[in-house]
Structure 1
Amino acid sequence: MENRTVAAVVSMLVSQALLLLFSVPISSASATPNPTALLLLHLLASYEAAAAVPLILPRRRKRPRLDGAGAGQGAAAVAAAPISIRRQPDNFGLDLGMASSTFEWLAGLLEPLLDCPGGGPRRLPAASRLALGLSHLYTGAPYADLAARFGVPEAAARSCARRLRRVLCTNFRFWLAFPSHAADIRAVSVGFESLPPDGGLPGCCGAVACARFGVGGGVSAQLLADASCRILSIAAGFRGDQPDSRVLRRSSLYRDGETGRLLNSAEQYLVGGAGYPLRTWLMVPFKGVAADAAQGDFNTLHKLMLRPVLRTISSLRNWRVLSSPMEGEEDDDGRTAVACVATCAILHNVLLMREDYSALAVEVEEEVEGGNLVDAGKCQDEAALVDDPVNEQALALRATLAEKAGEICRRSGGLKQC
């Protein structure tokens, strides 16, 4: 018998003995016992007896904690094996693609939205649901591996990943919106003018490029980024074999540019690679060998201003779900692949907003075609591109910019430093 049990029994017996002593008369001449003393002793005895009961009776056996191998036993496994989120910054950078402070901020922001209505892993705290969804995006691991790693059923891992994608793409799409105010657009232009080492051309309000991702069997996405690699616009869901010009023409960016709704001035423009057509609002490099020094200087600065969007594409590829075949997802006409691209783009902007560069690429994935930088994932036949008819206004704007490019390069000491 355990010591606690022996102590409880002895205490109860002592109380009962005291009660008997005070309640039985010592002699026939004794007066009746003191009612107050009897009441106190009775309460003492009752308390001791009640306190001894849980110590005497056998205690319930603790439920064994399930490990990853037994995580597929249903909802009971979730309650039996709660997720323990590791808080060390190094672990966050390695597993979730962000610093611990960013994770805590995002968890607080999304907590009321990450509940799964109508079912799902309700017993998991918001931080655990967010960690599951982020781990799927950053590692690209299959749901079965995530379930084993976090000690939850596979259905819970899938539910958390889907819920995070839906919440971000539905409630936070505005983080990918092109600036609507003239002052904000001007700020983007100033950023390109200040690009190191010697600055870019004036009037540039964004750099556009296409990326090819392997998620869901292959998908193309068109990204527009500012000088700090922040994504200003994204269009996804095109087949991976679509050339850049065709993706552009099927996007709302092209329609807004052609109708004049995108920019506020005729002197404002975007820059794009050689796969795009020359438009009044979209400047592309001179093809082939530059006819004069001014054209060569323009191509050099144009190449410099394309680097932020190419670095953005490289950064998105750090979210390894974008190169995953997405096993375990039903055929949904590519909607899951598009949601993954959009979710990673939103998280990319969140990290930049938080000054968290955990997933930002250091190097730019690029190759040179005809002296111009293009996305390394581009798969298109240059001969298959059909240029738009020559636009005199666009040609005049590019010629003016070429003259300014020559001035910038001469001021900085020559072409090699541009």
Structure 2
Amino acid sequence: MENRAVAAAATAAVSQALVLLFSLPSYSSSSADDDPTALLFHFLSSFEIAAAGDLFLPRNRKRRRHLDDPGDPPPGAAVAAAPISVRRQPDHFRLGLGVGASTFEWLAGLLDPLLDWPGGPQELPAAAARLAVGLSHLATGASYGDLAARFAVSAAAARSCARRLRRVLCTNFRFWVAFPSPSSELSAGFRHLPGCRGAVACARFDLGGSGGAAAQVVADASCRILNIAAGFPKDQPSSTILRRSSLFQEAGRLMGPPEEYLVGGEEYPLMPWLMVPFLDASAASPAAFNAVHRRIMARTVLRTISSLMNWGVLSSAMEGEEDPRAVAACVATCAILHNMLLSREDFSSLTAAPPEEEDDDDDGDRSGSSGENPPGGAAPAAAALRDALADKVRGILTQRHPSSRG
């Protein structure tokens, strides 16, 4: 056992030495800047190398031959530039940057010219290294001082990289968060709620010295974010945030046909394009509607909000970024990255789906207006639409699952 530990430690030491050797600048035409992933492996492994010994050597020969071990990375996920390939070693990128290695390489290629700007930190000349600093800030929520120590740069350089990444994504890639065209097909994930486009809820972030913030999130059945409105005080009611958002003004255009709508918790007002649960669900149809509504909320927008909170920056003190605009930019940046990762089937930050049988009564905060009392006199039309929808839902459930509540 001691020999195995010594071998593991030696392997780790050799790995670190080779990484440092290959990451030193070269005066040839092929410099270290052309292949920054080896250097990044050093940055990301330095804080976990002491705990990695058991992962370098399998515990028994039988496990060594088992190529489909659940702990193995997916085929193609390893970084080709890694000096030593250890199949069972944890994915450093996923741990330190919140994305898989292949996604990091894709992002580095996509953002390369945009992360190389005049006046950028000369300590990190490679765009991929600047990307790593920015992603590490988002994924871990580490202070700029901690990032500086981790990446061996100044705190000013770490702050510059983090802010540049946010600016680039929010300016050049905001189209990643958008409603599909009204003519696009509705998701099969909403098959029990015909006409549903998505679900809306408010996320509440505890951000230390910044006092917290709220963001309104709309997500579809695949947890893709369709719309986000950030920058609101944490204690502001959901219904107030809704009325102040562009979603409230543009709902008619975004929904498409009149029979399309969103679903939201009972803290929201009932409107023709926003279906909320019945407060009185004693009858069969309202009960069926509420059951389906509750499960859809849990499996879509509430799961999406939980996934956003997996980004460490959204639960950190955000030292040096107390400006509400910076907080809103962090939320928007994480939303864009969330959708980018989903498009690549990279589920690094996606919260696991709740069980199919989950029956959670918490559909969000209860601080807004009651769903039975919508403002503006929309109650009769909206209530009639919801009654008709509840009857449809009950019919669908009865036909497909005769013995099920929903």
Question: TM-score w.r.t. structure 2 length?
Answer: 0.73
Q: CA deviation at 1:133?
A: 0.4
Counterpart check, 1:400 vs 2:392? no
Maintained 8 Å contact 1:275/1:385: no
Q: Post-superposition shift, 1:374?
A: 1.9
User: Would you say 1:295 and 2:286 are equivalent positions?
Assistant: yes
State the partner residue of 1:271: 263
Find 2:313's aligned residue among 315, 321, 326.
321
d(CA) in 1 for partners of 2:249, 2:189 = 24
1:190 & 1:114 partners in 2: Cα distance?
36
Instruction: Determine if the alignment matches structure 1 residue 95 to structure 2 residue 96.
Output: yes
Q: Which amino acid aligns with 1:110?
A: L
C-alpha contact 1:285 1:372 (8 A) present in aligned 2: no
1:358 and 2:348 matched: yes
* Residue aligning to 2:379: 391
Change (3 A) 1:137 1:173: same
Paired with 1:242 and 1:415, the residues of 2 have a C-alpha distance of 41
C-alpha deviation, 1:390, in angstroms = 4.7
Equivalence map 1:126-141=2 (5 Å): 126-141=127-142
Contact 1:83–1:124 (CA under 8 A) maintained in structure 2: no
Matched residue count? 321
One-letter amino acid of the structure 1 residue matched with residue 196 of structure 2: C
Alpha carbons of structure 1 residues 243 and 352: separation in structure 2 relative to 1, 3 Å: same
Query: What does 1:176-215 align with in structure 2 at a 5 Å threshold?
Result: 176-179=177-180, 181-184=181-184, 186=185, 189-193=186-190, 199-215=191-207
Q: Which residue of 1 aligns with 2:363?
A: 374
Q: Deviations over 1:263-321 (max 9, x none)?
A: 2211111111100000011100101x413101100111111221201000000000010
Q: Measure the CA separation in 1 of the matches of 2:349 and 2:192.
A: 26
SS for the counterpart of 1:222 is strand
**How much identity, in percent, do the aligned residues show?**
55
SS of residue matched to 2:134: helix
Cα distance, 1:150 vs. partner? 1.0
Decide whether the 8 Å contact of 2:138 with 2:311 is kept in 1.
Answer: yes
List aligned pairs for 1:42-61, cutoff 5 A.
none
Match of 1:230 in 2: 224
The aligned residue for residue 246 of structure 2 is 252
Cα drift, residue 382 of structure 1: 6.6
Asked if structure 1 preserves the Cα contact closer than 8 Å seen for 2:240 and 2:368, the reply is no
User: Which residue is equivalent to 1:7?
Assistant: none
CA apart distance, 1:415: 6.3
**In the alignment, what sits opposite 1:76?**
none
Partner SS state of residue 291, structure 1: coil
SS in structure 1 opposite 2:228? strand
Q: Report Cα offsets for 1:93-115 as digits up to 9, x if no partner.
A: 11111111100000000000002
Please list every run of 5 or more consecutive structure 1 residues that lacks an aligned counterpart in the other structure.
1-64, 66-81, 194-198
| Contact 1:245–1:276 (Cα < 8 Å) also in 2 | yes
Render the CA deviation track for 1:142-201: whole Å, top value 9, x for unaligned. 11111111111111111111110000001011111222x2332x2xx23333xxxxx421
In structure 2, how many angstroms separate the alpha carbons of the residues matched to 1:392 and 1:233?
Answer: 28
5+ residue gaps, structure 2, are: 1-19, 21-36, 42-78, 83-89
CA contact (8 A) 2:294 2:363 kept: no
3-state SS, counterpart of residue 262 of structure 2: strand
Tell me the distance in 2 between the aligned counterparts of 1:134 and 1:306.
Answer: 29
1:381 Cα shift?
Answer: 6.7
Deviation sequence 1:96-142 (CA, Å, 0-9, x none): 11111100000000000002323433642111101110011000011
Contact 2:218 2:226 in 1 (8 A): yes
State the match for 1:84 in structure 2. 39
Answer yes or no: is the 8 Å Cα contact 2:166–2:333 preserved in 1.
yes
Tell me the equivalent position of 2:336.
346
Instruction: Provide the C-alpha distance between the structure 1 equivalents of 2:220 and 2:371, rounded to a whole number of angstroms.
Output: 29
CA distance in 1, matches of 2:179, 2:393: 26
Go from structure 1 to structure 2 and tell me whether the alpha carbon gap of 1:239 and 1:209 turns closer, same or farther (over 3 Å shift): same
Counterpart residue type for residue 182 of structure 1 = P
Conserved 8 A contact 1:317-1:323 = yes
Query: Cα distance, 1:354 vs. partner?
Result: 0.5
> Quick check: 1:306–1:373 contact (8 Å CA) kept in 2?
no
**In the aligned structure 1, how far is the partner of 2:262 from the partner of 2:315?**
28
Paired with 2:403 and 2:212, the residues of 1 have a C-alpha distance of 39
In terms of Rg, which structure is larger?
Answer: 1
What amino acid sits opposite 1:166 in the alignment?
Answer: R
The question of whether the paired residues in 1 share the 8 Å contact of 2:224 and 2:304 is answered with yes
From the superposition, tell whether residues 140 and 364 of structure 1 become closer, same or farther in structure 2 (CA, over 3 Å): farther
Conserved 8 A contact 1:192-1:205:
no
